[in-house]
Amino acid sequence: MTATVPDSAAKLPEGVALRTFSGIQPSGVAHLGNDLGAIRNYVRLQDEYEAIYCIVDYHALTSTHDPQLLRTNTRDMAASLLALGLDPERCTLFVQSHRPEHTELAWLLATVTPVSWLERTPTYKEKRESQPDDINHGLLTYPVLQAADIVIYKASLVPVGKDQAAHLELSREIVRSFNNRYGETFPEPQAVFTDAPTVIGTDGVRKMSKSVGNTIEVLAAPDVIRKQVTSMVTDTQRILRTDPGRPEGCNVCQLQRFFGDDYEELWDGERTARTGCVDMKRLLAERIVAHYAPARERYLELMAHPERIDEILAAGAERVAPWAAETMAEVREKMGLR
């Protein structure tokens, strides 16, 4: 899995430690799209940069209104990230609401952000269409809080999936708008993608997504993973078992690329109809189960000791506190707040 680090990352002033930042919503369990599209880069970048990762519970409030569920999901997402490879010795992991400075900065950035920029973001437009009676103010201003999350640590690299590209572009525009008005303050954050920037869901059409319900839950019990993989839509043009398959049009075949070096051979078996879609799904399910088995073990172990998770999150919030305070002091001064 490669991290595509943009050239502009090299343009930071000398002596400034490169920071990466990314946030993930505690809106349910981690899925294959999260891992292949983003979390793998979180893990990789923790060895190369000052890496800061945040469970963005303020963001989740735009769609989750059950306090107990939010609390449970927050701890669950922390355990998932740690199980999938985040190491508190090599990165900082914390919960967004433990650093309320994020919301203060979001308000300040909102004053340099035209509403028209927010109204044109694809996610907001989608939500307005799909849930016209449930559009809260947080859904509109979500990208401003997202920009604040990143720039409060002056992070220049943001490992995310492709679905976040438009939000990142907006963060850069907000940064430019602030820097133009108040003087050079924030670096423009750049997205960093893996080689699976958009993982398609089990329906074979839409991005894998919890709200769509087309996910493969990587830390679930083996039988749950098998069931989810078995439900995957494959090449819709392959009707009979004897029809040649088209790996480029089959999501199961595409996912094989990430679970073994022999995918070209497997694709050849599909093209010549030596293997069928069911064979491919069985193989993929077993490979996913085997690949994530050690992470699942770590996840279960952590969930059995919630106090350890809470300690890691508390230490993370402490660690970022001086960085957030430093940026807020600079911003308040530049904006004329006394």
The reply on whether position 139 binds ligand AQP by CB under 6 A is: no
Kindly state the smallest distance separating residue 89's Cβ from ligand AQP, in Å: 23
**In whole angstroms, what is the distance from residue 259 CA to residue 199 CA?**
14
**In whole angstroms, what is the distance from residue 212 CA to residue 287 CA?**
24
Kindly state the smallest distance separating residue 333's Cβ from ligand AQP, in Å: 32
Identity at 325, one-letter amino acid code: A
Q: Which of 125, 154, 207, 281 is catalytic?
A: 207
**In whole angstroms, what is the distance from residue 276 CA to residue 239 CA?**
11
The reply on whether position 198 binds ligand AQP by CB under 6 A is: yes
Burial degree of 47 (CB within 10 A; 0-12, 13-18, 19+): exposed
CA distance readout (Å), 324 to 62, 281, 303: 23, 47, 29
Q: Between residues 24 and 284, which has the closer beta carbon with respect to ligand AQP?
A: 24
Among the candidate windows 90-98, 137-145, 193-201, 253-261, which touches ligand AQP by CB under 6 A?
Answer: 193-201
Identity at 150, one-letter amino acid code: I
Residues in contact with ligand AQP, shown as a per-residue x/- string from 17 to 56 under the rule CB under 6 A: -------xx-x-----xx--xx------------------
Q: Between residues 210 and 226, which has the closer beta carbon with respect to ligand AQP?
A: 210
Three-class SS of residue 22? strand
Q: Clarify whether 207 is annotated catalytic.
A: yes
* DSSP H or E run through 71: helix 67-83
The reply on whether position 199 binds ligand AQP by CB under 6 A is: yes
Any idea which residues carry the catalytic annotation?
127, 207, 210
Interface contacts to ligand AQP, rule CB under 6 A: 24-25, 27, 33-34, 37-38, 160-161, 163-164, 197-199, 207-211
